[in-house]
Amino acid sequence: MNNSEIDIIGKIVKDMYGTFIGKAIGNITDIDGTTQTVGIDCGSYGLKQIRFDQLVIQGDVIIFIPKWRLDAQRLIREKRLTLRRLKALIDIVSENDEMKDDAKIIHEKYKSKLGSLDETEKQLETKLKDRLHELNDQIKTLKLLLFDAKIQYKSNEIDLTLFESVKSYNADLIDHINHEIVEITNIQRRISDLTIDNIHDDENKQTQIQESAISYLSSSKIESETELKFPEVPQQEPTPMIHTITNNELNKNNTIATNMNKQQIHQNTNDEVCVSN
Protein backbone atom coordinates (compact mmCIF):
# COMPACT_ATOMS: atom_id res chain seq x y z
CA MET A 1 0.00 0.00 0.00
CA ASN A 2 1.20 3.51 -0.76
CA ASN A 3 0.75 6.43 1.61
CA SER A 4 -2.45 7.68 -0.02
CA GLU A 5 -4.05 4.28 0.44
CA ILE A 6 -3.01 4.12 4.11
CA ASP A 7 -4.33 7.65 4.79
CA ILE A 8 -7.92 6.71 3.93
CA ILE A 9 -8.52 4.81 7.17
CA GLY A 10 -10.75 6.75 9.56
CA LYS A 11 -11.64 9.50 7.07
CA ILE A 12 -15.18 10.70 6.47
CA VAL A 13 -16.70 9.70 3.11
CA LYS A 14 -19.06 12.09 1.29
CA ASP A 15 -20.63 12.15 -2.14
CA MET A 16 -19.77 14.75 -4.77
CA TYR A 17 -22.36 17.13 -3.33
CA GLY A 18 -21.12 17.02 0.26
CA THR A 19 -23.67 14.58 1.66
CA PHE A 20 -22.31 12.31 4.38
CA ILE A 21 -22.04 8.63 3.42
CA GLY A 22 -19.96 7.00 6.16
CA LYS A 23 -16.45 6.42 7.43
CA ALA A 24 -13.60 4.39 5.90
CA ILE A 25 -12.74 1.62 8.36
CA GLY A 26 -10.47 -0.66 6.33
CA ASN A 27 -9.45 -1.89 2.90
CA ILE A 28 -8.92 -5.10 0.97
CA THR A 29 -5.65 -5.41 -0.95
CA ASP A 30 -4.44 -7.50 -3.83
CA ILE A 31 -1.46 -9.85 -3.58
CA ASP A 32 0.83 -7.06 -4.79
CA GLY A 33 -0.35 -4.77 -1.97
CA THR A 34 -2.53 -2.42 -4.03
CA THR A 35 -5.92 -1.52 -2.59
CA GLN A 36 -8.90 -3.05 -4.39
CA THR A 37 -11.84 -1.97 -2.26
CA VAL A 38 -12.44 0.19 0.81
CA GLY A 39 -14.87 -0.73 3.57
CA ILE A 40 -17.26 2.09 4.43
CA ASP A 41 -19.24 2.07 7.67
CA CYS A 42 -22.65 3.41 6.62
CA GLY A 43 -24.33 3.15 10.00
CA SER A 44 -27.68 1.35 9.88
CA TYR A 45 -27.07 0.57 6.20
CA GLY A 46 -24.15 -1.60 7.24
CA LEU A 47 -20.75 -2.09 5.68
CA LYS A 48 -20.29 -1.25 2.01
CA GLN A 49 -17.32 -2.24 -0.15
CA ILE A 50 -16.42 0.49 -2.66
CA ARG A 51 -13.78 0.22 -5.37
CA PHE A 52 -10.71 2.29 -4.59
CA ASP A 53 -10.75 3.99 -8.01
CA GLN A 54 -14.16 5.46 -7.09
CA LEU A 55 -12.67 7.36 -4.16
CA VAL A 56 -10.82 10.67 -4.21
CA ILE A 57 -8.93 11.89 -1.15
CA GLN A 58 -9.33 15.59 -0.39
CA GLY A 59 -7.67 16.48 2.89
CA ASP A 60 -9.61 14.86 5.72
CA VAL A 61 -12.51 13.89 3.45
CA ILE A 62 -12.92 11.11 0.87
CA ILE A 63 -15.18 11.88 -2.10
CA PHE A 64 -17.19 9.02 -3.58
CA ILE A 65 -17.51 8.98 -7.40
CA PRO A 66 -20.45 7.00 -8.85
CA LYS A 67 -19.40 4.16 -11.14
CA TRP A 68 -21.62 5.28 -14.01
CA ARG A 69 -19.66 8.50 -14.17
CA LEU A 70 -16.32 6.76 -14.54
CA ASP A 71 -17.75 4.26 -17.05
CA ALA A 72 -19.22 7.09 -19.16
CA GLN A 73 -15.95 9.02 -19.23
CA ARG A 74 -14.03 5.89 -20.21
CA LEU A 75 -16.50 5.06 -22.99
CA ILE A 76 -16.43 8.58 -24.41
CA ARG A 77 -12.63 8.64 -24.40
CA GLU A 78 -12.22 5.24 -26.06
CA LYS A 79 -14.95 5.74 -28.66
CA ARG A 80 -13.70 9.20 -29.61
CA LEU A 81 -10.16 7.88 -30.12
CA THR A 82 -11.37 4.89 -32.16
CA LEU A 83 -13.47 7.13 -34.41
CA ARG A 84 -10.57 9.54 -34.90
CA ARG A 85 -8.30 6.69 -35.95
CA LEU A 86 -10.91 5.21 -38.24
CA LYS A 87 -11.44 8.57 -39.93
CA ALA A 88 -7.70 9.05 -40.30
CA LEU A 89 -7.47 5.60 -41.89
CA ILE A 90 -10.23 6.43 -44.38
CA ASP A 91 -8.49 9.70 -45.27
CA ILE A 92 -5.18 7.90 -45.86
CA VAL A 93 -6.81 5.34 -48.17
CA SER A 94 -8.69 8.03 -50.09
CA GLU A 95 -5.37 9.82 -50.73
CA ASN A 96 -3.50 6.67 -51.76
CA ASP A 97 -5.38 3.73 -53.31
CA GLU A 98 -2.25 1.58 -53.17
CA MET A 99 -2.59 1.37 -49.38
CA LYS A 100 -6.14 -0.01 -49.54
CA ASP A 101 -5.09 -3.63 -49.09
CA ASP A 102 -2.77 -2.78 -46.19
CA ALA A 103 -5.53 -0.81 -44.48
CA LYS A 104 -8.10 -3.62 -44.54
CA ILE A 105 -6.67 -5.44 -41.53
CA ILE A 106 -6.53 -2.28 -39.42
CA HIS A 107 -9.99 -1.27 -40.63
CA GLU A 108 -11.47 -4.54 -39.42
CA LYS A 109 -9.72 -4.08 -36.09
CA TYR A 110 -11.31 -0.66 -35.57
CA LYS A 111 -14.73 -1.91 -36.68
CA SER A 112 -14.49 -4.72 -34.16
CA LYS A 113 -13.55 -2.22 -31.45
CA LEU A 114 -16.52 -0.03 -32.33
CA GLY A 115 -18.81 -3.04 -32.12
CA SER A 116 -17.52 -3.79 -28.64
CA LEU A 117 -17.97 -0.14 -27.60
CA ASP A 118 -21.51 -0.12 -28.96
CA GLU A 119 -22.37 -3.03 -26.70
CA THR A 120 -20.81 -1.22 -23.74
CA GLU A 121 -22.77 1.88 -24.70
CA LYS A 122 -26.08 -0.03 -24.59
CA GLN A 123 -25.29 -1.36 -21.12
CA LEU A 124 -24.30 2.11 -19.90
CA GLU A 125 -27.43 3.67 -21.38
CA THR A 126 -29.54 1.19 -19.41
CA LYS A 127 -27.72 2.16 -16.21
CA LEU A 128 -28.20 5.87 -16.91
CA LYS A 129 -31.92 5.44 -17.55
CA ASP A 130 -32.28 3.44 -14.34
CA ARG A 131 -30.44 6.15 -12.43
CA LEU A 132 -32.69 8.87 -13.89
CA HIS A 133 -35.71 6.85 -12.81
CA GLU A 134 -34.30 6.58 -9.27
CA LEU A 135 -33.64 10.33 -9.13
CA ASN A 136 -37.14 11.20 -10.32
CA ASP A 137 -38.62 8.89 -7.66
CA GLN A 138 -36.49 10.63 -5.03
CA ILE A 139 -37.81 14.04 -6.09
CA LYS A 140 -41.38 12.77 -5.78
CA THR A 141 -40.63 11.52 -2.26
CA LEU A 142 -39.05 14.84 -1.27
CA LYS A 143 -42.07 16.75 -2.51
CA LEU A 144 -44.29 14.46 -0.45
CA LEU A 145 -42.17 15.11 2.64
CA LEU A 146 -42.38 18.86 2.09
CA PHE A 147 -46.14 18.76 1.55
CA ASP A 148 -46.64 16.73 4.73
CA ALA A 149 -44.48 19.21 6.66
CA LYS A 150 -46.68 22.02 5.37
CA ILE A 151 -49.78 20.21 6.64
CA GLN A 152 -48.11 19.77 10.05
CA TYR A 153 -47.29 23.47 10.13
CA LYS A 154 -50.79 24.57 9.17
CA SER A 155 -52.27 22.27 11.81
CA ASN A 156 -49.95 23.79 14.44
CA GLU A 157 -48.10 20.51 14.99
CA ILE A 158 -44.74 22.12 14.21
CA ASP A 159 -43.62 25.74 14.41
CA LEU A 160 -42.45 27.97 11.57
CA THR A 161 -38.75 27.49 12.36
CA LEU A 162 -38.95 23.73 11.98
CA PHE A 163 -41.03 24.03 8.82
CA GLU A 164 -38.47 26.39 7.27
CA SER A 165 -35.72 23.91 8.15
CA VAL A 166 -37.58 21.12 6.35
CA LYS A 167 -38.00 23.39 3.32
CA SER A 168 -34.31 24.26 3.30
CA TYR A 169 -33.09 20.66 3.61
CA ASN A 170 -35.46 19.49 0.88
CA ALA A 171 -34.50 22.34 -1.44
CA ASP A 172 -30.79 21.53 -1.06
CA LEU A 173 -31.30 17.86 -1.84
CA ILE A 174 -33.60 18.57 -4.80
CA ASP A 175 -30.97 20.96 -6.13
CA HIS A 176 -28.32 18.22 -5.90
CA ILE A 177 -30.59 15.73 -7.65
CA ASN A 178 -31.39 18.18 -10.45
CA HIS A 179 -27.68 18.76 -11.03
CA GLU A 180 -27.10 15.03 -11.36
CA ILE A 181 -30.04 14.74 -13.77
CA VAL A 182 -28.57 17.50 -15.93
CA GLU A 183 -25.17 15.81 -15.85
CA ILE A 184 -26.59 12.44 -16.92
CA THR A 185 -28.57 14.11 -19.72
CA ASN A 186 -25.42 15.84 -20.96
CA ILE A 187 -23.52 12.56 -20.95
CA GLN A 188 -26.30 10.82 -22.89
CA ARG A 189 -26.19 13.57 -25.50
CA ARG A 190 -22.42 13.44 -25.81
CA ILE A 191 -22.44 9.68 -26.31
CA SER A 192 -25.17 9.86 -28.97
CA ASP A 193 -23.25 12.62 -30.78
CA LEU A 194 -20.12 10.48 -31.08
CA THR A 195 -20.15 9.54 -34.75
CA ILE A 196 -17.46 9.57 -37.40
CA ASP A 197 -19.15 12.51 -39.16
CA ASN A 198 -19.04 14.94 -36.22
CA ILE A 199 -16.02 13.66 -34.31
CA HIS A 200 -14.11 16.92 -34.87
CA ASP A 201 -17.05 18.99 -33.65
CA ASP A 202 -17.12 16.91 -30.49
CA GLU A 203 -13.44 17.58 -29.88
CA ASN A 204 -14.06 21.32 -29.89
CA LYS A 205 -16.73 21.13 -27.20
CA GLN A 206 -15.86 21.53 -23.54
CA THR A 207 -16.31 18.39 -21.51
CA GLN A 208 -19.94 18.32 -20.46
CA ILE A 209 -19.10 16.47 -17.28
CA GLN A 210 -17.28 19.60 -16.13
CA GLU A 211 -20.43 21.71 -16.63
CA SER A 212 -22.32 20.46 -13.59
CA ALA A 213 -22.26 23.07 -10.84
CA ILE A 214 -21.50 20.45 -8.29
CA SER A 215 -19.54 18.05 -10.51
CA TYR A 216 -16.17 18.76 -9.02
CA LEU A 217 -14.02 16.26 -10.91
CA SER A 218 -11.38 17.02 -13.47
CA SER A 219 -12.14 14.90 -16.53
CA SER A 220 -8.48 14.50 -17.32
CA LYS A 221 -7.84 13.03 -13.88
CA ILE A 222 -10.78 10.68 -14.20
CA GLU A 223 -8.95 9.24 -17.17
CA SER A 224 -5.79 8.77 -15.13
CA GLU A 225 -5.82 9.03 -11.34
CA THR A 226 -9.19 10.70 -10.67
CA GLU A 227 -8.48 13.99 -8.93
CA LEU A 228 -11.12 16.20 -7.40
CA LYS A 229 -11.51 19.68 -8.81
CA PHE A 230 -13.45 22.16 -6.71
CA PRO A 231 -14.89 25.41 -8.09
CA GLU A 232 -12.56 28.37 -7.96
CA VAL A 233 -13.08 30.81 -5.13
CA PRO A 234 -14.82 33.88 -6.55
CA GLN A 235 -12.64 36.94 -6.69
CA GLN A 236 -13.62 39.68 -4.28
CA GLU A 237 -14.90 42.75 -6.07
CA PRO A 238 -12.82 45.88 -5.52
CA THR A 239 -14.05 48.12 -2.73
CA PRO A 240 -15.41 51.35 -4.21
CA MET A 241 -13.28 54.42 -3.43
CA ILE A 242 -15.04 56.86 -1.09
CA HIS A 243 -13.95 60.48 -1.49
CA THR A 244 -13.71 62.35 1.80
CA ILE A 245 -14.62 66.03 1.52
CA THR A 246 -12.20 68.25 3.38
CA ASN A 247 -13.17 71.42 5.23
CA ASN A 248 -11.58 73.57 2.50
CA GLU A 249 -13.60 71.82 -0.17
CA LEU A 250 -16.76 72.18 1.93
CA ASN A 251 -16.15 75.92 2.43
CA LYS A 252 -15.43 76.31 -1.27
CA ASN A 253 -18.67 74.58 -2.19
CA ASN A 254 -20.63 76.74 0.26
CA THR A 255 -19.10 79.88 -1.24
CA ILE A 256 -20.02 78.81 -4.77
CA ALA A 257 -23.58 78.06 -3.65
CA THR A 258 -23.88 81.48 -1.92
CA ASN A 259 -22.67 83.33 -5.04
CA MET A 260 -25.11 81.41 -7.20
CA ASN A 261 -27.96 82.35 -4.86
CA LYS A 262 -26.93 86.04 -4.98
CA GLN A 263 -26.84 85.96 -8.79
CA GLN A 264 -30.28 84.37 -8.87
CA ILE A 265 -31.72 87.01 -6.50
CA HIS A 266 -30.17 89.82 -8.61
CA GLN A 267 -31.60 88.31 -11.78
CA ASN A 268 -35.06 88.06 -10.23
CA THR A 269 -34.88 91.73 -9.15
CA ASN A 270 -33.99 92.86 -12.69
CA ASP A 271 -36.86 90.80 -14.06
CA GLU A 272 -39.31 92.48 -11.65
CA VAL A 273 -38.06 95.94 -12.67
CA CYS A 274 -38.51 95.11 -16.35
CA VAL A 275 -42.04 93.90 -15.69
CA SER A 276 -42.96 97.02 -13.72
CA ASN A 277 -41.63 99.26 -16.53
- Structural domains of the chain sorted by starting position, each given as residue range(s) with its CATH number in brackets: 3-64 (2.30.30.240), 67-223 (no CATH)
Q: Tens digit of pLDDT for each residue in 127-157?
A: 999 999 999 999 999 999 999 999 999 999 9
Q: What is the pLDDT of residue 175?
A: 92
Helix (H, G, I), strand (E, B) or coil at 8: coil
Mean pLDDT of the chain, nearest integer: 77
Q: Average of pLDDT values for 226-251?
A: 42
Q: Average of pLDDT values for 168-180?
A: 92
Measured in degrees and rounded to the nearest 5, phi and psi for residue 9 equal -65, 125
Residue 166's pLDDT band, with cuts at 50, 70 and 90, is: very high
**Which secondary-structure segment (H or E) carries 259?**
helix 247-276
Tell me if 3 sits within 8 A of 52, measured CB to CB.
no
Question: Could you tell me which residue, 189 or 105, shows the higher pLDDT?
Answer: 189
Tell me if 159 sits within 8 A of 184, measured CB to CB.
no
Burial class (CB in 10 A: 0-12, 13-18, 19+), 60: exposed
Q: What is the pLDDT of residue 122?
A: 94
Question: Could you tell me which residue, 90 or 204, shows the higher pLDDT?
Answer: 90
Helix (H, G, I), strand (E, B) or coil at 212: coil
Tell me if 64 sits within 8 A of 50, measured CB to CB.
yes
> CA-CA distance, 153 to 138, in Å (whole number)?
23
pTM of the full structure: 0.64
Q: What is the pLDDT of residue 208?
A: 45
Distances (CA, A) of 37 to 18, 21, 33, 208: 21, 16, 12, 28
Residue 262's pLDDT band, with cuts at 50, 70 and 90, is: low
3-state SS record for 117-184 = HHHHHHHHHHHHHHHHHHHHHHHHHHHHHHHHHHHHHHCCCCCHHHHHHHHHHHHHHHHHHHHHHHHH
Residue 251's pLDDT band, with cuts at 50, 70 and 90, is: low
